[in-house]
Structure 1
Amino acid sequence: MVFQIYIGKRKNSRGKVEISLRFRHGKFDQQAVTNLWIWPDMFDSKVFISNKGTAGERYTLNQTDGMTLGSRNEATEVAEILSRMQEYIEECFCMVRRKSPSTGWLAETIERFHAEELPRIEEERTEVVGLIDTYIAMTSEPESSDSRMEAYMLLRRSIARFEALRRIKFPRFRLFAGRMDESCLRQIQNFFHKEHVWVRKYPQIAKGPGLEGRTRPKGPNTVNDRMKLLKAVMRWAAKTRRIPGNPFDSFTLGQNVYGTPVYLTLEERRRIELHDFSSDPRLALQRDIFIFQCCVGCRVSDLMGLRADNVIDGELNYVARKTREGRPLTIKVPLNRTALTIVERYADPFRDSLFPEFYSRMGYNNIIKEILRKVGLTRRVVVIDPLTREPVCRKLYEIASSHMARRTFIGNIFKKFKDQNLVSELSGHTPGSHAFARYREIDTEIKREMVAAID
Structure 2
Amino acid sequence: MEATLRFELRLDTVNKNGEHPLIFIIRIAGQRRKVSTGITLIPELWDNQHQQIVSLTTKLKIQLGKKYGENLPTKHQLIQYQDQISALMSDARAVESRFIFEKTPYSADMIAEEIKLQQKQATKKEDPSNIVYDFIDQYIEEHKHIREKGSLTVYKSLKKHLTNYQNHSRSKVRFDQIDYNFLQAFQGFLISWEETNEKTKRVSSLNNTTISKQLRTLKTFLSYAKKKGISVNPGHKDFSIKEYKMEVIALTQAELDLLLGLELNSNKRLDQVRDVFCFSCVTGFRYSDLEQLHRGHIKNDEIRLTVKKTKKPLIVPLNRFSKGILEKYEELAAPLPIISNQKFNKYIKELCKLAGIDDPVEIIRYKGATKQSTIYRKHEVISAHTGRKTFATLSLEKGIPAETVMKITGHADYKSFQRYVKVTEERKRNEMQKAWGAPV
Equivalents in 1 of 2:286, 2:155: separation in Å?
19
Superposed displacement of residue 358, structure 1: 1.5
Distance 1:66 1:133, change over 3 A: closer
Q: 1:220 aligns with which of 171, 188, 208?
A: 208
Partner residue of 2:141? 137
Letter matched to residue 152 of structure 1: Y
Contact residue 181 and residue 247 of structure 1 kept, 8 A: yes
Q: Deviations over 1:24-65 (max 9, x none)?
A: xxxxxxxxxxxxxxxxxxx95645xxxxxxxxxx89998986
Superposed displacement of residue 313, structure 1: 1.4
Equivalents in 2 of 1:405, 1:367: separation in Å?
14
Partner residue of 1:429? 411
Superposed displacement of residue 241, structure 1: 1.4
Equivalents in 2 of 1:445, 1:279: separation in Å?
37
Mapping of 1:108-257 within 5 angstroms?
Answer: 121-122=126-127, 126-142=130-146, 144-163=147-166, 165-166=167-168, 170=170, 173-195=171-193, 197-199=194-196, 216-245=204-233, 248-257=236-245
Equivalents in 2 of 1:249, 1:380: separation in Å?
41
Letter matched to residue 277 of structure 2: F
Task: Give the 3-state SS of the residue equivalent to 2:292 in structure 1.
Answer: coil
TM-score for both structures, normalised by structure 1: 0.62
Of all paired residues, the percent bearing the same amino acid is 20
Aligned residues: 338
Equivalents in 2 of 1:160, 1:215: separation in Å?
19
Distance 1:427 1:389, change over 3 A: farther
Equivalents in 2 of 1:188, 1:390: separation in Å?
22
Equivalents in 1 of 2:362, 2:153: separation in Å?
30
Distance 1:66 1:384, change over 3 A: closer
Equivalents in 2 of 1:131, 1:373: separation in Å?
46
Distance 1:285 1:449, change over 3 A: closer
Coordinate RMSD, CA, aligned: 4.0
Superposed displacement of residue 283, structure 1: 1.6
Equivalents in 1 of 2:360, 2:375: separation in Å?
6
Partner residue of 1:284? 271
Task: Work out which of the two has the higher radius of gyration on C-alpha atoms and give 1 or 2.
Answer: 1
Mapping of 1:30-109 within 5 angstroms?
Answer: 46-47=100-101, 79-80=118-119
Partner residue of 1:336? 319
Letter matched to residue 359 of structure 1: S
Equivalents in 2 of 1:140, 1:356: separation in Å?
29
Equivalents in 1 of 2:366, 2:274: separation in Å?
27
* Structure 1: 5+ residue stretches without partners: 1-42, 48-57, 85-116, 207-213
Task: Give the 3-state SS of the residue equivalent to 2:395 in structure 1.
Answer: helix
Partner residue of 1:22? none
Letter matched to residue 301 of structure 1: S
Equivalents in 1 of 2:152, 2:191: separation in Å?
21
Task: Give the 3-state SS of the residue equivalent to 2:127 in structure 1.
Answer: helix
Superposed displacement of residue 250, structure 1: 3.5
Q: 1:379 aligns with which of 359, 362, 377?
A: 359
Partner residue of 1:400? 382
Partner residue of 1:23? none
Distance 1:65 1:286, change over 3 A: closer
* Structure 2: 5+ residue stretches without partners: 1-96
TM-score for both structures, normalised by structure 2: 0.64
Distance 1:354 1:128, change over 3 A: farther
Partner residue of 1:301? 288
Letter matched to residue 233 of structure 1: F
Q: Deviations over 1:101-121 (max 9, x none)?
A: xxxxxxxxxxxxxxxx95xx5
Mapping of 1:415-426 within 5 angstroms?
Answer: 415-417=397-399, 419-426=401-408
Task: Give the 3-state SS of the residue equivalent to 1:253 in structure 2.
Answer: coil
Partner residue of 1:356? 337
Letter matched to residue 257 of structure 1: K
Equivalents in 2 of 1:394, 1:400: separation in Å?
10
Superposed displacement of residue 263, structure 1: 2.0
Superposed displacement of residue 449, structure 1: 11
Contact residue 282 and residue 321 of structure 2 kept, 8 A: yes
Distance 1:64 1:398, change over 3 A: closer
